[in-house]
Structure 1
Amino acid sequence: MTSRAASFLKFLAPVALAAAAVSSPAQDKPVELKFAHWLPPTHSLAKTGFEPWARSVEAASKGTIKVALFPAQQLGKAADHYDMARDGIADVTWANPGYQAGRFPLIAAGELPFLVGKPGPGSAALDAWYRKYAAAEMKDVKLCFAHLHVGTMHAKKPITEPSQLKGMKIRSSNGTNAAFMSLLGATNVQVSAPEARDALEKGVADALAFPWDSVISFGIDKAVKYHSDMRMYASDFAWVMNKGFYDKLGPAQKKVIDDHCSNEWAARVGAAWGDFEDSGQAKLEKSPGHTIVKVTPAQIELWKKAAEPVYTQWVQSVDKTGVNGQQALSELRKELEARKAN
């Protein structure tokens, strides 16, 4: 090695060490990340999604990001969680875009009836598809990731065909599901998940669209006894972050957040929560007084036929945003098919 080369290496050494120090998590200023959601702290998603994500962020940041969870609407109502992230009431929130029908028309594609069958790969497909639209549709926040659950109809009487819903009062899961219920002649009861049991017990609602295990965790199994065995609907959810919070993070902390706001985490949360929710069907089947209502393939076709106008309405609503609705729907279908999620 020449003396000139040796001198150059001696010059580079402190520069490299300084760069490493700048990028090291140990040099990042400690911050607290306030994560708000509206589920009970004992809910399956809290145990399979929120808490594992929080622990992973803390570990990856070497403790420079501490995650404080605020469950059960502690910081605001369920329908307000998107705006809570936008306004900095919380740093990250778990939002149901369908609670504000019409505000987020693109992501509502994931809510279309009988489109998604498997929540894990379905979540991965929805998240991958939606990322190119999120910058415009959710421009007030930084999208962490999107996922979904799949559910069915739970009622005070057996439901097997769409014609039976005429005249019933239905607690719908989101705006798209509400449009479907209206199309079938039902009256929509707009209440959030935490308010659903009360609506049923008071006779304000006769039935509801809900995932399987949450019927148990929210105590709704005390109010309804019949559960239709079909994959009728899906609900979309978005983990969204306050932009100002993200911007103030150090470089290494931003990388931790980026690594945890990924398609891999969308799939992981969607699968873990979805599998747990689906396990609720077997629990209800074994519960005294509960009936799993079988729905035949011919009856499923009746439901799908009845849902066709909802797809038309979705395409038309998206066309108004300047996006080609039919093309966007075709792209989502391809993602779902590629991941065997439909």
Structure 2
Amino acid sequence: MTKTKGLKRVLAATALAALSAGQAAAQDVTFRLAHWLPPTHPVQTMGMTEWMDAIKAASDGRIDFQVFPAQQLGAAPDHYDMTRDGIADIGYVNPGYQAGRFPIYSLVEIPFHMDNAPRGAKAMHEWYAPIAEEEMSDVKFCLANPHDPGTIHSKTEVKLPADIQGKSVRPAHATMARFVSMLGGAPVQVPAPEAREAIANGTADAITFPWGSIYIFGIDSETKHHLDMPFYISAQLMLLNKAKYDGLPDDLKKVIDDHCTPEWSQKFSEGWAAEEASGRDKMIESGEHTLYAPTEEEVQAWRDAAAPLLEQWTSDVGEGADGYYQGYVDALEANDAKF
């Protein structure tokens, strides 16, 4: 009897261990993360990698990632729907690639609001996270990631808003496309990975881009004139598929929640912002580029030209627009990120 009982205990213990191991294995998860940038881009090599590594460590390796860069799972404008539909578990999304779909969000695209990307990322997260629960209710908002303030880079000199008249311009997003049209230019709307081709083949005469990305995407040989003025931002979002998130055990949900915070939006954005800012210095040092610093009066002319964008945004959003606007401005000022 003793031997039989002992054998039963061993078998029971073995079965329990196997069951526990099976349960643990069932709780392990790999997130398919899709983005549309090249794998060498600072967003992946810096902020994204740091974020993923922190989650892996915090979950004791139970959360892992499979990264699909360079539009491998779908075109850049499709990344929101890809995330919603589960083609990707996490999507790096530029909502501005889909005009009119997220009207409240598009406030961040209007020029002359944010002058610092990392602090602005934190402010934007604080402001937009509760709004996203309604405006992007079919995904889970995680992080905000604006680039360092960008400007206009062109084949011929651009000093004033009137210089856009008659030019074809690749805009960063729908709001900048509207601005180009307001100034008498023709927007050439292609996502960032296709921007160089548009400039190189003459489809576009100019581009709105952050400084470093001119080099990252090989556009430095095509645009030699640059408006030396912090102007606008394009803010990408890290979004999660809701079903994937909801299917996590509570302890892994907490790991994700702990890495979807305003502080992480700031940290995620720091490396890329520094890399973008360094592009301006590189242009100056090269001696191959002409940077034009507008006067105070010329800066004001650009501000005045952009003012109707806010009026249009207010009209598009309708009820509650004033409160959304004030909330955004307050968040920027609280984080020392306001122009």
Q: Which residue of 2 aligns with 1:56?
A: 54
Q: Which residue of 2 aligns with 1:98?
A: 96
Query: How far did residue 104 of structure 1 move?
Result: 0.5
The AA in structure 1 aligned to 2:135 is: E
Report % sequence identity: 43
1:124 aligns with one of 122, 125, 139: 122
Contact 2:42 2:271 in 1 (8 A): no
Q: Which residue of 2 aligns with 1:14?
A: none
Tell me the secondary structure at the aligned position of residue 220 of structure 1.
Answer: coil
Size of the aligned set, in residue pairs, is 316
Tell me the secondary structure at the aligned position of residue 124 of structure 1.
Answer: helix
The AA in structure 2 aligned to 1:109 is: L
Q: Which residue of 2 aligns with 1:159?
A: 158
Normalising by structure 2, we get a TM-score of: 0.90
Q: Which residue of 1 aligns with 2:199?
A: 200
Query: How far did residue 145 of structure 1 move?
Result: 1.8
Q: Which residue of 2 aligns with 1:340?
A: 336
Farther-moved stretch of structure 1 (26-35 vs 61-70) = 26-35
Taking the aligned partners of 1:240 and 1:269, their CA distance within structure 2 comes to 14
Query: How far did residue 27 of structure 1 move?
Result: 7.5
The AA in structure 2 aligned to 1:341 is: A
Q: Which residue of 1 aligns with 2:313?
A: 314
Q: Which residue of 1 aligns with 2:241?
A: 242
Unaligned runs of 5+ in 1: 1-21
Tell me the secondary structure at the aligned position of residue 286 of structure 1.
Answer: helix
2:144 aligns with one of 146, 165, 168: 146
Contact 2:50 2:268 in 1 (8 A): no
Taking the aligned partners of 2:64 and 2:126, their CA distance within structure 1 comes to 28
Taking the aligned partners of 2:203 and 2:197, their CA distance within structure 1 comes to 8
Query: How far did residue 288 of structure 1 move?
Result: 4.0
> Is 1:84 aligned to residue 79 of structure 2?
no
Tell me the secondary structure at the aligned position of residue 222 of structure 1.
Answer: coil
Taking the aligned partners of 1:44 and 1:281, their CA distance within structure 2 comes to 16
Contact 2:47 2:270 in 1 (8 A): no
Q: Which residue of 2 aligns with 1:13?
A: none
Query: How far did residue 157 of structure 1 move?
Result: 1.2
Query: How far did residue 140 of structure 1 move?
Result: 1.1
Taking the aligned partners of 1:114 and 1:164, their CA distance within structure 2 comes to 19
> Is 1:168 aligned to residue 164 of structure 2?
no
Taking the aligned partners of 2:187 and 2:323, their CA distance within structure 1 comes to 30
Q: Which residue of 2 aligns with 1:258?
A: 257
Query: How far did residue 287 of structure 1 move?
Result: 2.0
Contact 1:145 1:238 in 2 (8 A): yes
| C-alpha distance after superposition, 1:188-216 (max 9, x if no partner) | 00101000000001100000000111110
Query: How far did residue 227 of structure 1 move?
Result: 1.4
Farther-moved stretch of structure 1 (279-288 vs 254-263) = 279-288
Q: Which residue of 1 aligns with 2:15?
A: none
Taking the aligned partners of 2:245 and 2:323, their CA distance within structure 1 comes to 33
The AA in structure 2 aligned to 1:331 is: G
Taking the aligned partners of 1:158 and 1:90, their CA distance within structure 2 comes to 42
Q: Which residue of 1 aligns with 2:67?
A: 69
> Is 1:289 aligned to residue 280 of structure 2?
no
1:33 aligns with one of 28, 31, 37: 31
Query: How far did residue 132 of structure 1 move?
Result: 1.6
The 1:76–1:27 alpha-carbon spacing in structure 2 relative to 1, beyond 3 Å, is closer
Tell me the secondary structure at the aligned position of residue 234 of structure 1.
Answer: coil
Contact 1:111 1:235 in 2 (8 A): yes
Contact 2:224 2:289 in 1 (8 A): yes
Normalising by structure 1, we get a TM-score of: 0.90
Taking the aligned partners of 1:340 and 1:237, their CA distance within structure 2 comes to 20
Contact 2:168 2:186 in 1 (8 A): yes
1:329 aligns with one of 312, 315, 325: 325
Contact 1:315 1:326 in 2 (8 A): yes
Contact 2:165 2:185 in 1 (8 A): yes
Contact 2:110 2:309 in 1 (8 A): yes
| C-alpha distance after superposition, 1:270-310 (max 9, x if no partner) | 23221221111101112242122221221100000111100
Query: How far did residue 26 of structure 1 move?
Result: 6.1
TM-align CA RMSD? 1.4
